[in-house]
Amino acid sequence: MLMLIELVKAFGKNKLWEHIVVAVFPFIYLPLLSDEKDARYQDPTTIKRVKKGPVREWVDAILFAVVAATIIRTFLFEAYTIPTSSMEKSLLVGDFLFVSKMSYGPRLPNTPLSFPFVHHTMPFSETAKSYVEWIKWPYYRFPGLGKIQRNDAVVFNYPAGDTLSVRFQSNVSYYSLVREYGRNRVWSDERNFGKIIARPVDKRENYIKRCVGLPGDVIQITNGELSVNGQPNPTPGIIQYRYKVVTDGSTINPKTLEKYDITEGKTNAVYGEYTFWISEQVANQLRALPTIKEVSRITDPAGEWNPEIFPNSSDYPWNVDNFGPLEIPKAGQTVELNLKNLPLYERIIQTYEGNALQVQDSAILINGKPADHYTFKMNYYWMMGDNRHNSADSRYWGFVPEDHVVGKAVFVWLSLDKNKPLFGGKIRFSKSMRFVK
């Protein structure tokens, strides 16, 4: 960046805006500079330096810091925090981590003109965009250090975040609202749903999950147990499920919950009965307690359809515990298309790969032409949270396209417990300064 600024100085370009433009958009500014008839190169050793005032010195320093930080965040690594419990206990709420952009290759931003250090919305506003779409770049990924491996902890842009309600943001997907209330009401009832907006890929919410399925894999969940290509899928993380815990009528002491690191649960209507989200190891430890009479995992039975589960079709009566089998698409693969399997692929065809899709008189039309086959342009992945019964993941919104992948979670540098005071255990030292498994 400094070399670029010094280069344009050699052509007599000393204005602040000229330095900003060449630092941020060298591929635009330098070709324009080469076309200037009056531009003349001067030996830098013979150029009389323009004396800068203190304000200009400060502006230059701030500009350099902002541009350098933006380049680092875009192409090398970025800091993230864990906002939800979907990866408990592998990654905890309050973990601060670094995400490597180099692991899978950094992406070229779709919207390069944006406010620094802000994701999609300006501070102190619910609707003001932090970016403009005057310039939009197509998807391109630079070469990286490797490819996504099964069970990597991956940060990606929320696939169902292309359209959303300003009122609910990504907490409740736009598509869930439409299924529950109907499209006409969601679009017309601004009082309850807010404005309906669209976001480019790089400005959708960042999610972190574990990649359990690679392109070409066949995934299946049977009674809560995940298998990939017909084999059980071991994970380096700690998997949690939902359990019913019944006592002898006594209440469970909060110190017991703290001892076994139980942070999610609720008291049921039946006295002495609880629901906890815990690992199998913790479940076995609870079974050994004299006051505990029953510890059993809660699973949704096979064949009990959950309409919120992908692909949201009664032809696929799946739920969080019984799902599939389902093959994950890969680039270049061709599949047969029919009205039954179209729900599996319609978002890929229409939203992710930009085709016009219609069904007319039981015929599938892609870009206006009848189609009974489709060849995928991109690779896709299957992402799931380690907290299996408390995670919004691919079971709800399906495949994650390769152009949504941000990077790999590699290192937790700080872990804070929001429920504890600063000098009373707030910093989880045992969970800080560790690599992500």
Lowest mean pLDDT among 21-35, 180-194, 306-320, 390-404: 21-35
Helices (H), 254-379: 254-259, 280-287, 342-347
Q: Which tokens is 218 given?
A: 């066949």
pLDDT band, very low/low/confident/very high, at 62 (cuts 50, 70, 90): confident
Q: How far apart are CA 156 and CA 295, in angstroms?
A: 35
In a domain, 65, yes or no: yes
Angstrom CA distances, 180 to 112, 173, 209, stand at 36, 11, 26
The whole-number average pLDDT for the span 164-185 is 91
Q: CATH no. for residue 257?
A: 3.30.70
- Token pair recorded at residue 119: 């994701």
Determine, yes or no, domain membership for 267. yes
Domain boundary among 324, 356, 375: 375
Domain count for the chain? 3
Q: Report how far residue 163's alpha carbon sits from residue 198's, in angstroms, rounded to the nearest whole number.
A: 4
Say yes or no: 293 and 341 in one domain.
Answer: no
Q: Is residue 203 part of a domain?
A: no
10 Å CB burial of residue 365 (0-12, 13-18, 19+) is: middle
Same domain, 56 and 9: yes
Domain with 273 in it: 240-297
Query: Distance between alpha carbon 160 and the CA centroid of its chain, in Å?
Result: 10
Q: Point out the domain boundary residue: 53, 75, 97.
A: 75
Last residue of a domain, one of 350, 375, 400: 375
Q: What is the pLDDT of residue 50?
A: 64
Looking at residue 120, its pLDDT comes to: 87
> Residues 363-378: pLDDT tens digits?
999 999 999 999 999 9
Q: What type of residue sits at position 437?
A: K
CB 311 within 8 A of CB 399: no
Tell me whether residue 286 is in a domain. Answer: yes
Query: In this structure, are 344 and 291 located in the same domain?
Result: no
pLDDT at 214 over 60: yes
Considering the domain boundaries, does residue 320 fall inside one? no
Cα–chain center distance at 274: 31
CA dihedral sign, ordered 313, 314, 316, 319: positive
Answer yes or no: is 152 within a domain. Answer: no
Contacts of 369 (CB under 8 A, 6+ apart): none
Residue 235 domain-assigned (yes or no) = no
What pLDDT sits at residue 278? 95
C-beta neighbour count of 278 within 10 angstroms:
29
> Does the residue 256 lie in any domain?
yes
* Residues 6 or more apart whose Cβ sits within 8 Å of residue 341: 335
pLDDT band at 345 (very low <50, low <70, confident <90, very high): very high
pLDDT of 27 > 70? The answer is no
